[in-house]
Amino acid sequence: MQDDGHGRRVRANLLGSGIISILIGMGWGTAFILFDRPLLAAMHVGLILFGLVLFWLAYHQRLKAASLLAGNFLPLFIAVSCLFDNVPDGVHRATQFHFLPVALGGYFVYRRDSIYMKYIVPALCLAGFAVFSNTSIGFQDPALVIPESAAATGVWVNTITSVIELTFIVIIMNADLSLRRMMDVEMRKAIANGDFELHYQPQFDSRGEVLGAEALIRWRHAKMGNIPPVNFIPLAEESGLIVPIGSWVLRAACAQLARWEAQPETRHLTMSVNVSASQFRQPDFVQSVSEIVRLSGITPSKLKLELTESMFVDNVEATTAKMNALKAIGIIWSLDDFGTGYSSLSVLHRFPLGQIKIDKAFVRDMLTNKSNMVVTEAIITLAEKLDLQVLAEGVETTDQLDRLRQAGCLMYQGYLFSPPVDIEAFGKFVPADARKVDYLQPHTEDVPPARQRSAG
């Protein structure tokens, strides 16, 4: 989930860094050829190549790879360039100024990344800036370093380009900050005004009977229209607003579950609710969930809480303890988006899970990618051995459904059956006679255009 505008600004930042690297590489590279400094010229050819690769990656939306490349290469390149920037007495070297935009841009690009990328890389850049500003460490051989005649101009060029880079980054960061502030205010208003709503996507078994639903939040904004969750959940996670939003979702979903439990024809339905990482990390998470469940009067085993693999990476003991505490009252844990993360299969037996949901990307690629199919079959077999339910998400075509069934997966959710719908529309899946859905006749009238796009 990176579609809240942050991704676009990260991309702009990386594209800009690529272009600036190419321009600087060409400028200095040419100058060093003229000054007869082949080693320095070759280094700048390297910088041009780096800029081209960075631009290509960012252009093709490979933002993770682009960020990783930029975060590791740029500080190193600047440090090495500083060693060659050996200026005559009376002139200050200025190559180290480039550390400042890289530190700031890095912090911005990696704000949602690992500690290493978010803090350590920018801190190393700042340390590099301090060291190279106050010392003259570097190569002393006149044949290797920048010629004296060019040193004074070089200082100006480096200072001006660093200032331009800084300005560019500050403009992008400011746009990001304004948008986040505006969304923060709007989300607070939406909480107070009750502008959030839940939609329910039905889940089916292999006989076409509805088993339950996943509750998915919807935001109807008076001016901005319908804002999809990917555009505001990541912002709510960063600002902490996910905590009140998440508990509203849980209360609303439990209230609906209680209404289903009160009717004989809907008594069997289960409800899946998404829990985000920062919500789960709240110290009172267990207590607040137990309280909501108790007050709603539902049977806890009908509630499934969905977590993603990223939550199992650190703090294993605390995570397990929280999961066990809620499992003890009957709540079922479901592992969402399985197959997209990089955690090992050991997650499946190390944590008290009751269900795994095979991610839609996996389901989509299953038919075209043979190894994906083999992995899916292995996962299903393993899950069976571990007594875990397996549900496939994003089932869009009957071909996918058939393959999943062959592989032994017996629970499904996806546009083939129904997109998420409001509670009134969900009602049509419920009466005993209409409960059976003929999945060979997809409900095309409901299916958003996205299905047509990704179904092929």
- Which phi and psi (to 5°) does residue 105 adopt? -60, -40
Q: Does the protein bind ligand C2E through residue 420 (CB under 6 A)?
A: yes
Residue 450 contact, options Ca ion, ligand C2E, none, Cβ 5-8 Å cut-off depending on partner type: ligand C2E
Residue with smaller CB distance to Ca ion, 176 or 214: 214
Residue with smaller CB distance to ligand C2E, 165 or 396: 396
Dist CA 5 CA 229 (whole Å):
13
- Shortest Å distance, C-beta 256 to ligand C2E: 13
Q: Which of 67, 161, 276, 296 binds ligand C2E (CB under 6 A)?
A: 276
Residue with smaller CB distance to Ca ion, 50 or 280: 280
Q: Does the protein bind ligand C2E through residue 4 (CB under 6 A)?
A: no
Dist CA 169 CA 175 (whole Å):
10
Residue with smaller CB distance to ligand C2E, 40 or 216: 216
Q: Which of residues 104-163 bind ligand C2E (CB under 6 A)?
A: none
Dist CA 252 CA 264 (whole Å):
20
Dist CA 377 CA 382 (whole Å):
9
Residue with smaller CB distance to ligand C2E, 13 or 413: 413
Residue with smaller CB distance to ligand C2E, 1 or 79: 1
Residue 53 CB-density burial (10 A; 0-12 exposed, 13-18 middle, 19+ buried): middle
- Shortest Å distance, C-beta 200 to Ca ion: 12
Dist CA 4 CA 205 (whole Å):
34
Looking from the CA of 217 toward its CB, the CA atoms found within 13 Å total 29
Q: Does the protein bind ligand C2E through residue 217 (CB under 6 A)?
A: yes
Listing DSSP states for 111-165 in one string gives TTS-HIIIIIHHHHHHHHHHHHHH---S---TTTSPPHHHHHHHHHHHHHHHHHH
Dist CA 151 CA 155 (whole Å):
6
Q: Site mask, ligand C2E, residues 234-253, x = CB under 6 A?
A: ------------x--x----
Yes or no: say if 95 and 46 are a contact pair by the CB < 8 Å rule: no
Which pair of structure tokens corresponds to residue 262?
């009160």
Residue with smaller CB distance to ligand C2E, 104 or 233: 233
- Using only the alpha carbons of the chain, give its radius of gyration: 27
Number of amino acids touching ligand C2E (CB under 6 A): 23
Residue 16 contact, options ligand C2E, Ca ion, none, Cβ 5-8 Å cut-off depending on partner type: none
Q: Which of 7, 46, 208, 228 binds ligand C2E (CB under 6 A)?
A: 228
Dist CA 287 CA 289 (whole Å):
6
- Shortest Å distance, C-beta 189 to ligand C2E: 18
Residue 229 contact, options Ca ion, ligand C2E, none, Cβ 5-8 Å cut-off depending on partner type: ligand C2E
Query: Residue 331 carries which DSSP code?
Result: P
Residue span binding ligand C2E (CB under 6 A) among the ranges 54-62, 153-161, 226-234, 374-382: 226-234
Q: Which of residues 374-413 bind ligand C2E (CB under 6 A)?
A: 394-396
Dist CA 318 CA 306 (whole Å):
17
**Site residues, ligand C2E (CB under 6 A):** 1, 201, 216-217, 228-230, 233, 246, 249, 274, 276, 336-337, 360, 394-396, 414-415, 420, 450, 454
